[in-house]
Structure 1
């Protein structure tokens, strides 16, 4: 629950904050009364929070599973059971990732572009030093969300070996893949001890070890 709420709540709230920042700067009259503030500020944020609680409590209830934890890898190889469902993974990819990231990027860029156009229309000299801090802040937000909050749809459970062994992207280890790789390695060890016949060949075993220790192939 913590994993789902923190990662998805955060992106949705920041996406709405990007829209609201645009409204406050260019349409401040929309929030001139208490009624308008409730409608355009408090209700959307409350809706996002309630939506997250209901959705993720339901998902966690119906998509529960037995997890294996490994003390030797990052986050003990934790992976959310919710992503065992391909349909839910695609749903989250669209609503919890791509949509929010596009909203943040588009609203931030429109804010900067409209500010420049407004200065030009009013024949005012644009003071880049004055607005540089805002531009850097907005572009940094876009960059951070593209790096850390773009989720990747992963099929969990009995995935093909090539999917599990996908190398780390952008220097960030794929936590779900590492957990599955560690579990498969443990199954290989158990069968080898029981029957003296491993499940995996030498090359597959080497790749699994690379994934578990977050190394490039």
Structure 2
């Protein structure tokens, strides 16, 4: 999530209320916990079938989905449990710099990484729908499909390892605030900080927004062409998938990045603080809801869930019917 700059009182002390979303800790705790557990289960279930089912594994549209699921699963297994621990204990535990560095890497690096990969996903799915000829042979698939994903993952890892683990400044850690104050020192650097905000957050959000708008325009254009009904029916599912995935990412990220960009351009940090904190917290739900959205579009896996549920219900009824009274 994008960090929030802290405000200070007349004595130079951090104002806690402006560093933490104004939603009570018990509510946040149960919201995250009740969504995190089923989201982890759903992510593992999806990844298992995506890796073991040869047909699903070789479909190009599923490769970016797999990458996003893996990154999201890491956040669900490490980032959110650390947040739950903080909400329960009232401080970061254990209170050591290593925990803060790992938490920053996941909370800022991996989330922004998801946004970057999602920006590529929006472009990639658009190309699969309207320009699928780009992926017909091996060389084109390598250049337009595999290479961009590898390069983006490499960039994300290298940038955030350097910026967070080996920064050009000295980090300070506040164990009494969520995510150790969620403000690594590199964000105060004139180069790293602005680059991270603009290139790693604002720009990908703009790419997702533009892809969504262009998609709507092309949908209108293709539906008006009388000789395209068969192609339209085949691609309808992928188009709907792209629209919903983009919408999920854009709902909290557009207003959040507008505020971030406004602050970069000179807007007072005191303006929009509470709104920014709320949108920052809502970004967790992008990660938590993403697996369920994917499950809704992967029909082969969804059918297995239905059959498993029916079999479980049938077995439960059989056990109940033979149980002695």
Residues 93, 152 of structure 1: 8 Å contact kept: yes
Give the equivalent residue in structure 2 for 1:191: none
Residues 31, 40 of structure 1: 8 Å contact kept: yes
CA-CA distance at 1:164 after TM superposition: 6.7
Q: 1:99 to 1:165 in 2, by over 3 A?
A: closer
CA-CA distance at 1:33 after TM superposition: 1.3
Higher relative contact order (CA 8 A, sep 6+): 2
Match of 2:186 among 82, 102, 119: 82
Give the equivalent residue in structure 2 for 1:11: 115
> d(CA) in 1 for partners of 2:181 and 2:279?
11
State the SS of the aligned residue for 1:41.
Answer: helix
Match of 1:152 among 233, 254, 260: 260
User: 1:65-104 alignment to 2 at 5 Å?
Assistant: 65-71=170-176, 73-104=177-208
Q: 1:15 to 1:136 in 2, by over 3 A?
A: closer
With normalisation by structure 2, the TM-score equals 0.43
> d(CA) in 1 for partners of 2:162 and 2:277?
33
**Unmatched tracts of structure 2, length 5 or more:** 1-104, 282-325
Residues 15, 101 of structure 1: 8 Å contact kept: yes
> d(CA) in 2 for partners of 1:112 and 1:2?
33
Give the equivalent residue in structure 1 for 2:302: none
Q: 1:166 to 1:28 in 2, by over 3 A?
A: closer
- The one-character-per-residue Cα deviations of 1:102-161 (angstroms, maximum 9, x if unpaired) are 11011112112201211112277999xx78955455434332431456672779xxxxxx
Give the equivalent residue in structure 1 for 2:141: 37
Aligned residue pairs total 166
> d(CA) in 2 for partners of 1:151 and 1:92?
15
Give the equivalent residue in structure 2 for 1:63: 168
CA-CA distance at 1:27 after TM superposition: 0.6
State the SS of the aligned residue for 2:278.
Answer: coil
CA-CA distance at 1:46 after TM superposition: 0.6
State the SS of the aligned residue for 1:172.
Answer: helix
Give the equivalent residue in structure 1 for 2:249: 141
More helix per residue: 1 or 2?
2
> d(CA) in 2 for partners of 1:136 and 1:47?
26
- The one-character-per-residue Cα deviations of 1:12-68 (angstroms, maximum 9, x if unpaired) are 100111110111000111001122111111100110111122222233324242413
Residues 101, 150 of structure 1: 8 Å contact kept: no
Residues 69, 76 of structure 1: 8 Å contact kept: yes
Q: 1:124 to 1:20 in 2, by over 3 A?
A: closer
> d(CA) in 2 for partners of 1:168 and 1:50?
34
With normalisation by structure 1, the TM-score equals 0.62
> d(CA) in 1 for partners of 2:175 and 2:271?
17
